[in-house]
Chains A and B, each alone.
Chain A
Amino acid sequence: MRGLNGDARAYHLFLKDLSAYLRAFLRRRLAQLPDDVEDLVQESLLAVHNQRHTYDSSLPLTAWVHAIARYKLVDLMRRRAIRDQITEPLDEQDEVFATTDTDAADARRDIGKLLEALPARQRLPIVHMKLQGLSVVETARLTGLSESAVKIGVHRGLKALAAKVRGHT
């Protein structure tokens, strides 16, 4: 409480205790993804800090903290689900992304041909992210598109490619 009133040392202590508490809280709920626990602890701490003006001091602190942590947990799950959706079509198209050397060369030529048929806002994100292995942020900076536009471009582009391949064979 004193931390919210501007007492930096009390606030520091509070955040320290809170991070231990959050770690226990999230580890219990995220048993299958232990690598993400610490990320989520930090994310929740940041949210608690940024949203500390939404805490009503007449109400229990734990309910407020739990609600924030749970919200961040659900948010992470949702993001993971979306990411899995984006990457899934790649794994399914084994015949395009062949594994042997000669096949790979053929495949690259084929992909080039297929990609040319896509509009730039879908083609560039795929080239940068999926063929050159850049991150979303880097791709966004290179292409001048927003991050969500990059993600959408990859998603829609891969879908269109998959549809094309299915049509060809």
Chain B
Amino acid sequence: MKTEDLVTMLATGTGAIDSHAVVRRFIAAGGVGMLGAAALMIVLLGTRHDMIQAMTLPMFWVKLGYVACLAAAGMVALVRLSRPGLTMGRAALGLAAPVIAIWLVGGVELAASGAADRADLLFGKTWRSCPLLIALLAIPAFITCFWAVRGLAPTRLRLAGGAAGFASGAIAAVVYSMHCPEMGAPFIGVWYLLGMLVPAAVGALLGPRLLRW
């Protein structure tokens, strides 16, 4: 086909473009993914039984804020990486800031506690299962985020895949924090982050294969 004919064909019968379609697509993906993770958690794990009591503790909200900030920054990074020609930009800063903050709090906590309590603060009682459960809960959001990016035009496939995986992991961590009984900042800084990095690594591996267009 001649290029001029292609141009003519493309130009006929096109409607106006919805400029908010991209953002709306990701809100839908994040929402459905979070609902999926919540359903999975309620069926498999249940919420923590002292939920009401825990909600009065500041650490519960610190934990929730930490993962919510990471989820938001992850989604912003993902939206940017789904558009041709954009880098992560300040979203990278948004990803690093909560991690640095929780490490600072964790460092203070560790320094203030006695040697006997330190291992408990870092490992809690559930350090073995925590990253795996977060990775498990990330599966619904992982699928919806990849669906969202697949309809768009990422030009850095590995990075976009990693961002999609990380965002899904952070969404799962938000949900998981309703179940997880751990309250130590060092625990959250290490094992939650690890749980989010598992789907991120899987996403980075699959990105070049699944996100081509």
Contact A67 B85 (CB under 8 A): yes
Quick one: which of B14, B152, B212 contacts A51, CB cutoff 8 A? B152
Cα–Cα distance between A6 and B6 once the two chains are bound (Å): 18
- B4 proximity list for chain A (CB < 8 A): 16, 19
How many interface residues does A have (CB within 8 Å)? 35
Q: How many A-B residue pairs have CB under 8 A?
A: 85
Cα–Cα distance between A55 and B17 once the two chains are bound (Å): 10
Give chain B's interface residue range (CB within 8 Å of chain A): 20 to 34
Contact B85 A5 (CB under 8 A): no
Quick one: which of B1, B11, B13, B155 contacts A70, CB cutoff 8 A? B155
Contact B11 A8 (CB under 8 A): yes
With A4-B16, A52-B17, A57-B19: A16-B7 Cβ-Cβ less than 8 Å: yes
Contact B155 A6 (CB under 8 A): no
Contact B10 A15 (CB under 8 A): yes
Residue of A nearest to B83 (CB): A54
With A47-B153, A47-B213: A4-B17 Cβ-Cβ less than 8 Å: yes
Contact B10 A49 (CB under 8 A): yes
Quick one: which of B1, B10, B17, B84 contacts A64, CB cutoff 8 A? B84
Contact B153 A68 (CB under 8 A): yes
With A6-B14, A53-B17, A70-B155: A45-B84 Cβ-Cβ less than 8 Å: no
Instruction: Give 9 A-B pairs besides A6-B14, A54-B152, A54-B153 with Cβ atoms closer than 8 angstroms.
Output: A4-B19, A5-B17, A6-B15, A8-B13, A15-B11, A45-B10, A46-B10, A64-B84, A67-B155
Q: Which 5 A-B pairs have the closest CB atoms?
A: A67-B85, A6-B16, A67-B84, A12-B11, A51-B153
